[in-house]
Amino acid sequence: MRVRRTLVAAVRGLGLAVAVEAGSVALFVLIVVSMGLMVVGVGILTTPLVLSWARGYAHLRRVWGYDLAGVRIPAAYRPFPAGLGHGPVGRARRCAVLLRDPATWRELLWLPVDASAGMLLALLPPSLIGYGAGFVLLPFLEWLTGLGGEIIGLGFLPTDQPAMLVAAPVLGAGLLALAWYGNPALLRAHFLLAAAFLTPPKADLTERVARLTETRHDAVDASAAELRRIERDLHDGAQARLVAMGMSLGTIEALLEKDPARAREMLVRARESSAEALTELRDLVRGIHPPVLAERGLGDAVRALALRMAVPVEVEVELARRLEAPVESAAYFAVSEVLTNAAKHAGADRVQVDIQHLGGRLRITVWDNGRGGAVLRPVAAGGAGTDGSGLRGIDRRLGTFDGILAVSSPAGGPTLVTMEIPCA
């Protein structure tokens, strides 16, 4: 596994170096030239186009940073005001908006740094492996062809000296050791350098406030919908039975002396109706907050939930203590929704649930061997899907606690759903 990560980092670094050479250098030159032409008016028309290319290139690097190294680089561009137009005047206004945006100048400052220091960090992983292997093989290449230095690209090496042929493999082994331990870190450092220039001030706080604002509205809507559901269930179920039972008791009171047998029959029905009303009330309360969750905690509640599933569910729990009640409740109902999706939509015949408390966060993973294809659909998509709406509901529930939901579900399966909730 370590060998694979080392080689993959080298290949990705080489690809990044090519992208930096083709993108950062060319875009920086184009932007500088276009801004220089603004004094004669031409740059006012060309600069918005060139800056849009730079933004697209920066977005691509953000995507690569997250996909290749797990580095999140937020973007915070100012929106364009409405009514700019599309003619020369509109382009001039667009140019003014772009030049007043601090993100534009962060990207302009980042491009030369990326073309120099970023290029070096991208080239180091493949260079360590390439030169390390070359130095290790240098004595063999020199003995075989007499051109060992030229083959590894260092023709100035005094390969005719025995000391060099002895020291080269040692140096090569050291370079390979550096690649073994440092290649993934160097690749991550490349994107961290980009993040240092492209991340707007207080970006994380701004993004978190925006997400919490959105999920606050979702929580209010969800609470209102839950309240309406409870009222409807009470009105259609237990309340109706209790009202009917009250009317029956009134009739029984009138029949006690006139028709005791009839009164006895109605008492039996009233007893049955009261038992059914009690069952419905218990089910309703269980839907709000299951008793086993309040009494035994999240682990036992999920195990009890697994026992009621139609498919086999394996549950692994590693929790050192009880969590806060709101966190336990959110996690329980999120797991319940995921298990329901796996049983109803995925066609799974095996499900695994793993619950851990790591670094102050509750981490839950649910794996199933179903058909896959689950998608966390954006709110705007709105289309019908197998389980997109259910996953969106889970995302809103976790978002209230600043939690996250990640879904990996390729077509054909398996599906892996990961949920994290801060516990502090």
- The confidence score (pLDDT) of residue 240 equals 57
118 and 53 inside one domain = yes
209 and 278 inside one domain = yes
Categorize the per-residue pLDDT at 109 as very low, low, confident or very high, splitting at 50, 70 and 90.
Answer: very high
256 and 311 inside one domain = no
349 and 412 inside one domain = yes
Higher pLDDT, 181 or 254: 181
Q: What is the tally of structural domains in the chain?
A: 3
Q: Choose one of 243, 266, 288: the last residue of a domain.
A: 288
- The confidence score (pLDDT) of residue 111 equals 92
- The confidence score (pLDDT) of residue 269 equals 77
Top mean pLDDT of 43-52, 139-148, 264-273, 338-347 is at: 43-52
Higher pLDDT, 62 or 156: 62
56 and 147 inside one domain = yes
37 and 85 inside one domain = yes
pLDDT over 90 (residue 103): no
247 and 347 inside one domain = no
In this prediction, what percent of the chain has a pLDDT beyond 90? 6
- The confidence score (pLDDT) of residue 113 equals 93
> Domain of 394: which CATH number?
3.30.565.10
pTM reported for the whole predicted model: 0.50
- The confidence score (pLDDT) of residue 69 equals 83
β partners of residue 404:
420
Higher pLDDT, 144 or 255: 255
Q: Choose one of 272, 288, 304: the last residue of a domain.
A: 288
Range of the structural domain that residue 270 is part of = 204-288
In this prediction, what percent of the chain has a pLDDT beyond 70? 73
227 and 149 inside one domain = no
Higher pLDDT, 145 or 375: 375
243 and 192 inside one domain = no
pLDDT over 70 (residue 329): yes
Average the pLDDT over each of 19-33, 189-203, 365-379 and give the range with the smallest value. 365-379
40 and 79 inside one domain = yes
Average pLDDT, the chain: 76
At 259-300, the pLDDT tens digits run 778 777 777 777 777 776 666 666 555 555 567 777 788 888
348 and 251 inside one domain = no
Q: Choose one of 144, 163, 198: the last residue of a domain.
A: 198
The arithmetic mean of pLDDT across residues 352-359, rounded, is 85
Categorize the per-residue pLDDT at 385 as very low, low, confident or very high, splitting at 50, 70 and 90.
Answer: very low
At 163-213, the pLDDT tens digits run 666 667 777 788 888 888 888 889 999 999 999 898 887 655 566 666 666
C-beta of residue 298 within 8 angstroms of C-beta of residue 323: yes
51 and 87 inside one domain = yes
